[in-house]
Structure formats: C-alpha cells, structure tokens
C-alpha cells in the first residue's frame, strides 16, 4: 500500500474528493488503500465486521482506468461506503450481528445497495450493529461492542453504531444504517456526525432485514449535509419490489441545498424541554439553538403535545 500522505486524510466532502480525482492529486485506489489502513489502525473500535479489501481495490482500479479515458464521474464515483449488517449485498454474508444467521449469504442486492453500485460507489465492508437492529448502544452484537471513537469508554449509540463510528473515525466517506425508532439519529448524535432517517418509504426497504416494517427506513451517515443529500438522491425513489415505497418524483437534493432558504414556520414540543428526564445542560443548549433560529427570520413556536409519556410504550407495542 502507498505510504505517502493521502489527500483523503483531510477529506471534507464528496465534491472535494471528486475534484481531487479529476486534477490527479489522488485516485480511487489510493482512497481505498487509505481507508483500509485507517480501519486496521482503529480496529479496536470494532466498527467493521467484514472487509472486502481485494474486491474494493479491484473496483477502484477499474474506476481509475475508466476515468482516465472519459473523465466523466457518476454521482458516487469512487466514494467509499460502509453498510450496516442488515443490508443484503449479493454474494456477501449478512448476519444482522446474530449467530442465528451464521453462514448466510445474500442472493440479491438490496435496492439501496444496487443504486449505490450503479453510481460507482465502492463498498469497503460491513459495519457492526446491535443484534437484529434491536438496541441503542451497539453493545449487543455477536461481534462484541463498537466503541465511540471520541471516547472509548462511551457507547456510540445504536443500533447502527458501527456505521456511525465508521464515519466518525474516518474509516469511510459515507455509511448506511437503518432506523426504526432512532437507530440512525441517536448514534449520529452520540458520534457528532450527520445522520438522516428519511421519511417512511423514501428509500426502498427491499433487501433490508426487517425489525418493524411499518417503521423501518434505511438511513445515511455522512460528514456533512451535501454528501448526505447526494446519497439520498441516488437511493430514493420508486421501486417495484417495495409496495410501500413513495412514487413521488425525487428532486436534486444537492441542487436544492444551494438555493436560498425562505423563512420557515418551525414547531417544537415545549414539554420536552421541561421534562425532568432531560439533562439541564442539554435543555439549555437546545433552548439557545431554538432562540437563534428566529434571528434568521424563521417563525418558531412551541406545539402542545399531551401524549409525550405514551410515545415510548406505544413504540414498544
């Protein structure tokens, strides 16, 4: 593997990476090699449970050769991706971090995975998670716990903790998780990165091992919102294999982000900020953030919600 310092050590965005590819200051092969080194150096975090090193390098070489001939880049050209161990990737093992599925090999690609591959993404490996995505700390896995890269004595959140740490620790560019009741949003928060649970049906669930099918949604971890927007744009949209998927046309989310933001009406649950279960430091920080939104011309008001105490019991049912 290359020993020189890679521009990937200061990776900021997919756009920056693509610019580096086009000006010749890096390559897809160098990118894969860099992240493989990072994964090895930080293996104590236990973020990845499978690596596809040879396969990823082979695809990187093919992309580099193709790029040198035509210069055109697909939306995720050479982008190095980690996937949660609940997504089917054809001819690769998937276990939902459980001994129950030992030796099971996926026979098809999840729609989300296929769409990543169609846009020339490179899947470098499979990320750890709570068994069958049931957990919120990523401590309950047949592979052992995943550690928070910021503080190894802390949990990274779950169930998509491995996918979150993979981005947090710089082990890949973006990663996929799944979210039923917070399994992308919570670990993104714990790890200080960007995480999105799209609206239900925005991304096809075909090829996702189910937890609660009426809640499940494939989610995305990234270093920034533009990268997340590109990934969502690629994966979202109608799919004949998922009867619950939305058929609403998918806009160019990345382009939409560049447009000026009109003033918004924003509501929040006032009861949550005064709830005795909320840490006072968190309450103060959130309140300050809410107050700051009005400075940008947004209308921000509390919304009464008298059923707060029933949310968690209803979710468990």
Annotation marks residue 95 as catalytic: no
Q: Which of 6, 95, 141, 183 is catalytic?
A: 183
Q: Which of 84, 160, 197, 204 is catalytic?
A: 84
The dihedral sign for the CA sequence 136, 142, 147, 148: negative
What six digits make up the tokens of 185? 């949003």
Q: Which of 159, 160, 175, 204 is catalytic?
A: 159
Annotation marks residue 202 as catalytic: no
Annotation marks residue 159 as catalytic: yes
Pairwise CA distance, residues 175 & 184, whole Å:
10
Catalytic residues: 84, 159, 183
């Amino acid at each position: 593997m290359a020993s020189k310092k890679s521009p990937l050590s200061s990776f900021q965005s997919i756009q920056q990476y693509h610019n580096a590819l086009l000006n010749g200051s890096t390559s897809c092969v160098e990118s894969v090699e860099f992240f493989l080194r990072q994964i090895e150096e930080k293996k104590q975090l236990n973020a990845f449970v499978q690596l596809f090193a040879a396969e990823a390098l082979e695809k990187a070489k093919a992309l580099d050769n193709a790029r040198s001939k035509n210069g055109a880049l697909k939306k995720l050209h050479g982008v190095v991706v980690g996937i949660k161990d609940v997504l089917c990737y054809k001819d690769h093992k998937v276990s939902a971090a459980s001994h129950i599925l030992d030796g099971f090999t996926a026979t098809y690609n999840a729609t989300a995975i296929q769409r990543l591959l169609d846009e020339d993404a490179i899947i470098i490996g499979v990320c750890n998670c709570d068994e069958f995505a049931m957990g919120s700390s990523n401590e309950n896995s047949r592979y052992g716990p995943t550690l928070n890269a910021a503080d190894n004595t802390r949990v990274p959140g779950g169930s998509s903790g491995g996918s979150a740490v993979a981005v947090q620790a710089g082990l890949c560019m973006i990663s996929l998780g799944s979210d039923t009741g917070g399994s992308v949003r919570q670990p993104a928060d714990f790890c200080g990165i960007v995480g999105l649970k799209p609206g239900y049906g925005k991304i096809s669930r075909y090829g996702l091992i189910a937890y609660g099918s009426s809640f499940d949604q494939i989610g995305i971890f990234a270093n920034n919102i533009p990268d997340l927007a590109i990934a969502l744009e690629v994966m979202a949209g109608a799919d004949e294999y998922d009867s619950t998927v939305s058929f609403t046309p998918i806009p160019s989310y990345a382009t939409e982000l560049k447009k000026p933001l009109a003033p918004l009406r924003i509501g929040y649950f006032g009861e949550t900020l005064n709830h005795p279960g909320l840490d006072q430091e968190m309450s103060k920080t959130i309140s300050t953030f809410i107050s700051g939104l009005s400075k940008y011309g947004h209308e921000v008001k509390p919304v009464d919600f008298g059923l707060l105490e029933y949310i968690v019991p209803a979710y468990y049912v």
